[in-house]
Structure formats: structure tokens, C-alpha cells
Structure 1
């Protein structure tokens, strides 16, 4: 793709802004609390920006546009699942986590169920999710640099990995929150600007709909050609996957108070689905403009380079890049924080100094990023397919357990363990079975996994007794709101 001076100037100006934010954040880091949780002073708009940018990232402009292009309106089942997951997180889970006052999700689960071993085990599971998700992000970055600068795909991924390692190590959570807010702003603005350009080039929405209906008659139906079972599976995978995603949930620990989390939830309710409607319409227009596109994950880049002014091209490419950065640094920091707090400080070196804790975290940021690079180079499937696998594990092993832990008083330590082990094992083994041909692909693994996990948690909890501390932790969750209100009044 041809890059004139205006394209490059716009692109690198945005990158320079993100780097400057990270450097400023580095200067503000006072201690581990600053690095991991931004001193728990994050306002609602920073939490909103971090959640939005992390979930949109390059997936919107690569993976999701390709899915819309190929499958049609049925892909909205994924986004409805994401929206439902965000709704539950921001209004029913996030405020409770913030008031509970931990650092990581494994730490919360260990306290809630009086089971110290949950911390290292769930932390390792979290790290596996993060590495898989980072692999999908490196695919996005590789596609961007390969197409924009003509670099070798593997070289592009190594370069993306190096940049994200440096920014995350230096900036910590303060950099993540602020750079994510900038990323959200750019992602939304560029989409709104690019939308009419692509629509007009394709002849307007009415002409686009008429043409696409001839090409693919079921394109605008609820389930298109994927079927109801697959659509329902998407809804469940992504709603529970988001709910069980520590990368999102740990954002709530950074909030100044629970009200900031609710405000962020209101913001997501206003912005999230309208943004995806724009993305759907752009992908639909691409079916008219490029009916024989070979790599459908390059729709956004091809469209902008063909149709948009140079400054919009530069900003559009920068939007993808900062979106990728926002997600990678979020996942990296989440996994590294969990491994540091829940394994290094808990098992390996309980007396570690703050300096050693920060060094360990930064070392793990480097190692986790290196582990994700081969997945990006391998590129085993479409971006959204790879993300489906990660979110299926997160939803079945994490989402169900976390949600029930807050609203099922009778849930015991044994019930939590059975849910985590069964959810993760069945989700992984069932997926391997479908790949090998031993299990039919007509049923998505999330459906049987979810049912088995729910039944196991309930049955095992009924057969065992919750400890006094487990009940006390549950009561603490439920009474936090009342105590918080009383404290504010007094």
C-alpha cells in the first residue's frame, strides 16, 4: 500500500501521542499500587475508554468485519453477548469487586471460598487465556504492518510485540488507562469519518442492501446461514466470556469508587452497539465494492487506501494500531499482575520487597508477550475463531463461577473447584475433539460445557457445607452497599 507523507505523518503523530502518555505515566509511578491499580483513582471515562478500546481494538477492523462480510447480520449475536456481558459486569459484578478491594480475580476467589490454592491455579488459567488472546492481537498487528509497510508477516509480529512490551513495562496501569482512552476516542472518530466515504462509494445504503440480497439472500436474517444453535452459542460464549475475563474485571479495581463503574456502564450502553452497527454497514458495503476480496480481514485497510484522503488513511491505520496496543497492554498487565501477586508473592517469595515485585511483574510481561508471538505467527484460524476458543474457556471456567460466587450463598469451595476444573477441561477437550473429528461440530462445546458446569457447581455445593468464612465473605459482598452508604452519610 502506498503511503505518502501525509499518511505517515498522521500515523506516527498518533503513535507519538500514545508513547508520550506512557512516558508521563512512568514518571507518575510511585509504588506497586500505582503500577498495578493506578492508585485506585480512575474516573468513569478512563474505565469506559479502557473497556471500549480493549474490546474493540483491531478485532473490529479485522476479525469482526471479516465475519460480517462472510456471514451477515447473524454476527450481531456475538455483539449482543458482549453487550450483555458488559451490562452484568458494570452493574452487578464490578461494584461488588471494587468494594471487596482486592488486586486480582484469583485473589478474590481465594478469599471468597477460603481456598488459598485457588490463587495460583486460577492465575495460571488466566495466563493461558491472556496468551491466546494476545496471539489474536499479534495477528492483527502483523496484518497491519504487513499490508501498510510491506514488512514480512513474522517480522511485523515481532515488531508489534517489542513495542507493546516496552510501553507496558514502562507505563503500568496508568499508561493502560490513559492510552486506552485515547484509543477509544480515535477509534470512534475515525469510524464515523470513514463511514460516509465508504457508503457513498458503494452507492448508498439502499443500493448496497439490494445488491447484497442478490449475492447472499440470507445475509440480513437473524441467523443467516449459521443456524440458531451456532448463534445461541455465540451469545453464551461472549457474554460469559466477557464476564469471566480478568482483563476486563480488574479494571474495576482501579475505580475511585463503585459509582464510577456504574457511570462507565452507562457510557458503554450508549456507545457500544451503535459503533458495531457502523462496522456492520461498512463490511456490507465492502461486499459491493470488493465482492471477490481474497483476505476479508483486510477490508478496512483496502477501503481506506482506495477511497479516503491521506489524513484519514493515516488516522485509520493509527486507530487500528492503538486499538491493538490498548488490548495487548491490558492483557499483558492483567496476566503479569496475577502471576506476580498470586504465585510469586504467595508461594515463591512472600517477603518480596516492592522493588522485587515490580521487577518480577515486568519480567513476566516480557515472557508472556514472547509466548504469544508464536501463536500470532502460526495464525491457526480467523481472528474471531481464535477469540471464540479463548472466551469459551473464560466463560465456562470463569464467568459462571464468578457470577454464582456473588449471588449463590450456598456455593462452597468444592463447588467452585468443580466448576473451574470441569469448565476449563470440557471446553478444551471438546474443542480438541471437534478438530480431530471425534465429536460432531453441530453442537458448540459451550452449550454442554455450561450445562455440566452449572449442574456440577450446584450438586457439589449441595453435597458439601460452606465454611463459616465462606458464608462471611458472601455476607460481606451483600452488605457492602449498605455499609458504604452508611459510611458516606456519617
Structure 2
């Protein structure tokens, strides 16, 4: 990829402006709660910026273009499904969760299922969220390495440094402000680039031959079962993800939380479409390119240098913001659910230091996994992440919100443990073709139903 001085200037100026704005906006933040929840005073724009700024990462940009390069429109499912998930979250989950005044999903589970549920939910969610961070580290490392002609490890160190600057100093408020600016850049550059790709596709003389209706213009080009399974994974994963719920907890009130989720959905849903167009254009004109580099290569070769530089910065910021937001979610759970609630570490400065340190450690681990799997698909990591983080927690969490007391603590904890292990074994050991989320949800549902029926048994009294 040709990277000129104009590209470099546009890249550096944009990244410094966005990250600097986030750090400046949160300059007065000193407390652990202010770091993780922005003082519980966030408005609609800050909430939607935090949510959309996190989900629009490697999967929504580079990963969508990578999949569209081979399959076309079915690559849109990631942003489309994410938007549907945020709508459902706003309709049914945002109000009751915000009204609790809590800080993490595990804290909510502890209220309903006892102390054992908290650390367990934190560990399950953290593993799933870590895999989602890998989905943004993969293209981040590849792009930095390709642009600057360096090996993966130095590229990973640059990425870790940028993530640390993005979120370590600013927390939730900094991530929200940076997320809003990043979204503006992504929207403008992607839709301009996508429009030029669409116009160029119209001029192809053999368009109908290169792109037959199936699979290129079908949402089910990868199979109806795969598409619906991925949609289900996204919805459940989003509802059970600490990062998105954390934005809900940071809202000034429950109505603001709900509207913020709806706004995020409206921002996220269209973003995948220009990446789809770019992926298809590159398939027609560059059939031998490395798929993960399709989007950045298009911006550098087919856009004005200044716009290409800003566009590459937008992609990098989308990756950095996604990693940072996900790592912040893990950091909040580790600091609150493990250190505060389990280990009784309550000193404010210590909790804040643990949260910030965890963000950097999580980013390093995600980069390490990425380097060991450089040729893997970005969206596969995202979908697997959603399945793992949601399969074991979704049913117990939903019952705790809408039918509290119906499931006993022992059965809730058993459901979380066994269903998560079932998904991991099915994916990593047995290598089953079935979506691991379906296995996890099925096992969880069986245990939940048994637990509910067991809890309703009449108590026998001695005569």
C-alpha cells in the first residue's frame, strides 16, 4: 500500500485531535465511578457515542469489507444485527437496569442469585469480550504493519500505546467524546468512499456476470442458518455485554438510557453498507489482494490523499475505540466485582489504578492472540465472542429482570457454568458445525426449566 506524506499528515492530525479531545473532556475526572460511569450524568449523545463508538470497530469496518469481498451483502449482518440488538436493549432492558443504580451486570446478578454469581459472570463475560477485542486488534496490527513496513510485534506495541492514550486517562467520558468524533469521521469518509465504489461498480461492463444475485445480493448468501445464527449471537451478546450496559448505567436517567440505545442503533445500522460496496469493488478489480486489507487499500488508492489519510485514521480510531471500550468493560468488572466485592479492596485510588491497568493488560493479551492468529477472519472472532459472553448469562439475566425470584441461585449458577463450558467444548474440542450459542442457550434453557420446576415442588411436611 502506497502511503505518502499527505496520508501521514491526515492520519496523525486526525488521531491526535480525536484522542486529545477525549482526554481533555475528562481532565477533571478523579474518582473510580467517574472513570467508569462518567459520574452518572451522561446524556443521549454521550451514551450513543460510547455504545456506537465501541461496536463500530474491526467487525463493522474492516471485517465487513473482508467478508463482502467474498460474499457481498451478507456481510452487512454485523452492523444490521448490532442495531437490532440495541433497539431490543432500549425497548426492554435499558430502563430496569438503569433504575437499579448499579455499575456492572454481575452486580445485578448478585442481587438475584447470590455472591457466587458475580465473579462467575465477570469471568465468563471477560473471556467473551476479550475475543471481541481480538477482532479489532487483528486488522489494527495488520494495517499498522502494512503502512509503516514493520513486523507485527512493533505494530502491536503502537496499537497498545494508542489504546492506552484513548481510554486510560479519560475513562467512560473520554471514550464517549472520542467515540462521537470518531463516528463523524467514519460516517463522512466511509460514505464518500462507498458512494464512489457504487458509482464505479455501475460502470462495470460485465457486472451481472461478476456479481450474480446469489450470493452477492442476498442477506443469506452464507446460508440462512448461518445468518440467523449470527443475528441471534449479536442480539444476545449485546444485551449481555458490560461495555454497552455500562453506558446505560452512566445515563442521567432511565429515559435517557433508552433513547441513547435507540440513537446508537440508528448510527450503527447503515455503517456496514459502504464497506460492503468497497469489498465488492475490490473483488472485481483486485481479486488477489489480502482480504483483511481491502478497505484500507481502497482508501489509499482510490480516494484523494488527504481524504484517504483521514479515512485510514477513522478506521484506526474505530479499531482503537472498540478495543478501548471493550477493555474498559472488563476493567470495570475486574475492579468492581473481583477487587471491590470479592477481595474487599475499596480505596478509591487503588480501584481506579486497577481499572486502568486492566485496560492495558487486556489490550496486550488481545494483541498476543491476534499475532498468533493473523490469518483468521475478523467476523468469526466477533460472532464467537457474542456467543460466549451471552450464552451462559442471557437467560439468568433476563429472568432476574422480568421474573425475579423464579429461578433459585444454585440453578442459576449451574446454568451459567455448564452452558458456557458446553459452548467452549463444542467449539474448541469437538469442532461442531453448530453455532456455539445455540448449544449454550439450549443447555442453559434445560437447566433453567429444571430449576424452575424443581423450585415449584411442594414442600413435604412430616406427620
Where does residue 458 of structure 1 map in the other structure? 449
Aligned counterparts of 2:229 and 2:260: Cα–Cα separation in 1 = 27
Shift of residue 109 of structure 1? 0.9
Tell me whether 1:339 sits opposite 2:326 in the alignment: no
Tell me whether 1:268 sits opposite 2:264 in the alignment: yes
Tell me whether 1:317 sits opposite 2:292 in the alignment: no
Structure 2 contact 82–269 (Cα < 8 Å) conserved: no
Tell me whether 1:407 sits opposite 2:402 in the alignment: yes
Shift of residue 61 of structure 1? 2.5
Where does residue 288 of structure 2 map in the other structure? 293
Quick one: structure 1 residues 273 and 372, their matched pair in 2 at CA, closer, same or farther if it must change by over 3 Å?
A: closer
Where does residue 283 of structure 1 map in the other structure? 279
Quick one: structure 1 residues 268 and 32, their matched pair in 2 at CA, closer, same or farther if it must change by over 3 Å?
A: closer
Aligned counterparts of 2:202 and 2:227: Cα–Cα separation in 1 = 30
Aligned counterparts of 1:209 and 1:320: Cα–Cα separation in 2 = 28
Structure 2 contact 26–170 (Cα < 8 Å) conserved: yes
Q: Deviations over 1:197-230 (max 9, x none)?
A: 22333344x868524335x843223422x32222
Quick one: structure 1 residues 120 and 168, their matched pair in 2 at CA, closer, same or farther if it must change by over 3 Å?
A: same
Tell me whether 1:329 sits opposite 2:324 in the alignment: yes
Structure 1 contact 208–285 (Cα < 8 Å) conserved: no
Where does residue 460 of structure 2 map in the other structure? none
Structure 1 contact 245–399 (Cα < 8 Å) conserved: no
**Aligned match for 1:375, one of 365, 369, 382:** 369
SS at 1:179 equivalent: helix
Tell me whether 1:359 sits opposite 2:365 in the alignment: no
Aligned counterparts of 1:431 and 1:355: Cα–Cα separation in 2 = 40
Shift of residue 295 of structure 1? 1.3
SS at 2:452 equivalent: helix
Aligned pairs (5 A) from 1:113-262 = 113=113, 115-204=114-203, 209-214=207-212, 217-224=214-221, 226-262=222-258
Aligned counterparts of 1:266 and 1:86: Cα–Cα separation in 2 = 6
Aligned counterparts of 1:94 and 1:251: Cα–Cα separation in 2 = 10
Shift of residue 307 of structure 1? 1.1
Shift of residue 78 of structure 1? 4.2
Structure 2 contact 193–274 (Cα < 8 Å) conserved: no
Shift of residue 80 of structure 1? 4.2
Where does residue 478 of structure 1 map in the other structure? none
Q: Provide TM-score, normalisation by structure 1.
A: 0.87
**Aligned match for 1:348, one of 325, 343, 346:** 343
Structure 1 contact 411–457 (Cα < 8 Å) conserved: yes
Aligned counterparts of 2:27 and 2:219: Cα–Cα separation in 1 = 50
Q: Deviations over 1:150-172 (max 9, x none)?
A: 22122211210122124322111
Aligned counterparts of 1:208 and 1:424: Cα–Cα separation in 2 = 48
Where does residue 6 of structure 1 map in the other structure? 6
Structure 2 contact 83–268 (Cα < 8 Å) conserved: yes
Aligned counterparts of 1:151 and 1:311: Cα–Cα separation in 2 = 23
C-alpha RMSD over aligned residues: 2.2
Quick one: structure 1 residues 269 and 392, their matched pair in 2 at CA, closer, same or farther if it must change by over 3 Å?
A: closer
Once structures 1 and 2 are overlaid, which stretch shifts more, 374-383 or 75-84?
75-84
Q: Deviations over 1:116-138 (max 9, x none)?
A: 12112211222222322222221
Structure 2 contact 59–379 (Cα < 8 Å) conserved: yes
**What are the ranges of 5 or more consecutive residues in structure 1 without an aligned counterpart?**
467-490
Aligned pairs (5 A) from 1:417-436 = 417-435=413-431
Structure 1 contact 397–424 (Cα < 8 Å) conserved: yes
Aligned counterparts of 1:127 and 1:263: Cα–Cα separation in 2 = 27
Tell me whether 1:100 sits opposite 2:80 in the alignment: no
Structure 2 contact 163–320 (Cα < 8 Å) conserved: yes
Aligned counterparts of 2:250 and 2:427: Cα–Cα separation in 1 = 35
Quick one: structure 1 residues 247 and 192, their matched pair in 2 at CA, closer, same or farther if it must change by over 3 Å?
A: same
Structure 2 contact 384–436 (Cα < 8 Å) conserved: no
Quick one: structure 1 residues 261 and 293, their matched pair in 2 at CA, closer, same or farther if it must change by over 3 Å?
A: farther
Where does residue 58 of structure 1 map in the other structure? 58
Aligned counterparts of 1:28 and 1:465: Cα–Cα separation in 2 = 52
Quick one: structure 1 residues 34 and 465, their matched pair in 2 at CA, closer, same or farther if it must change by over 3 Å?
A: farther
Aligned counterparts of 1:267 and 1:207: Cα–Cα separation in 2 = 40
Aligned counterparts of 1:174 and 1:249: Cα–Cα separation in 2 = 15
Quick one: structure 1 residues 314 and 77, their matched pair in 2 at CA, closer, same or farther if it must change by over 3 Å?
A: closer
Q: Deviations over 1:35-87 (max 9, x none)?
A: 11100111111111222121112322321111122123333444443232111
Structure 2 contact 278–298 (Cα < 8 Å) conserved: no
Q: Deviations over 1:305-347 (max 9, x none)?
A: 2211011101110111111121111111111111111111122
Q: Provide TM-score, normalisation by structure 2.
A: 0.92
Q: How many residues align?
A: 455
